[in-house]
Amino acid sequence: MSPLPPPGGPMPHYVSTAPFDPMATETMTSAQSRIHLASQKQLMWWKFKQHRLALVSGIFLIAVYLMIVVVEFVAPYGLHTKNVDFIHSPPQRVHLFHDGSFVGPFVYGRAMSLDLDTLHRFYNDKPDDVQPIRFFCRGDAYKFWGVIDSNLHFVCPAVGGQMFLLGTDRLGRDVLSRILYGARISLTIGLIGISISFCLGIVIGGLAGYRGGVFDLIVQRLIEVLQSLPSLPLWMALAAIMPVTWSPIVIYFGITVILGIIDWTGLARAVRSKLLALREEDYVQAAQLMGASTSRVIGRHLVPGFMSHLIASATISIPSMILGETALSFLGLGLRPPITSWGILLTEAKSVSVIAFYPWLLFPIIPVVLVILAFNFLGDGLRDAADPYK
């Protein structure tokens, strides 16, 4: 409390006598200044980095998608390479030491014995047959993306040896190599499918939310009908329509279009709800008064305002596409050989007897689970980063 002025005396002067500086601002720390001057993208990136699981999942997915670009180089064997002497061979263990001395990564050679009563093959390691694993080596010949002839691989078995880290199938083909090749189909079918779904959801949902009226009513009833149908039987019915005479590539694009057409409903409703809230904003009405067309108002003014939310929703939808392709191929209604996908690889593990004797044929389910979990964690992180001010 300031002292009271004496009776009849002048009032004390508390106004600063320093000259006025209109550019002066409140002093901020360096950390406060960094946040205050950051752009929207920077704030979203900082928010995303706080979600450690989403960050790790994003790095994992980037590595997986980069791998499928050079899968011919990464896979130790060719897609159709058969090792008839090692049919249904179990996975081999990688060792580093032999007889107490460091050798480097290697596997032991194997000898096969046949039970004449059950015709079951048994494989035993030969402890004196050390087969070093080679890196950046020459192996099975291939055509890189069907264009460039090469035989360079990242990892190869020893010369004249074998290396089946995940075992072999009924034709002696390396399961690990086939899983890597199958990733190219199973992962790209999700991206292409979500692109189709993304376009349909934005266009149909955007028009329904912006225009309203009868068109909005028809779209909502159509969405309700499609969402009321069980997904798997609907996929099976549409996949069964495709003629068996179609080539594998045509079937691949047919399955992709089916998955994209069925999955647009949820995204369309999200776009419609956002546009219903944004179409009454002042900047939208200003664009309309200036003569902007419907497509320009939606594409240039409305959609960019919630594109981050759409990307997060699309990221979460990709796993459903991958699961759809896997389920259809597993049931024999999707892709067919010679195309290889994770669903096709799992068809070899349909019977209980096969799983009991050759459980390594179930290994293709592992990348399916890992990729789906990674997409879900990444979607959660993107959804949180879409609103960095929370």
Render pLDDT for 114-156 as a digit per residue (tens, 0 to 9). Answer: 877 777 888 988 888 899 999 999 988 988 887 889 999 999 9
Among the listed residues 202, 217, 208, 246, the one whose alpha carbon sits nearest the alpha carbon of residue 336: 246
170 CB-near residues (< 8 Å, 6+ apart): 87, 88, 348
Structure tokens at 123: 């494989």
Among the listed residues 182, 187, 131, 180, the one whose alpha carbon sits nearest the alpha carbon of residue 154: 180
pLDDT tens for each residue of 220-269: 888 888 888 777 777 777 777 777 777 777 877 887 887 787 778 888 88
pLDDT tens for each residue of 7-62: 665 666 666 677 766 665 556 666 666 766 777 778 788 888 888 999 999 999 99
- Chain centroid to CA 248: 23
| pLDDT score for 205 | 86
pTM equals: 0.80
Type of residue numbered 223: I
For residue 291, report the phi and psi dihedrals to the nearest 5 degrees: 90, 15
| pLDDT score for 174 | 93
pLDDT tens for each residue of 105-116: 999 999 888 877
Q: Residue 172: left if φ>0, alpha if ψ -120 to 50, beta else—which one?
A: left
For residue 67, report the phi and psi dihedrals to the nearest 5 degrees: -65, -40
Burial of 193 (0-12, 13-18, 19+ CB in 10 A): buried
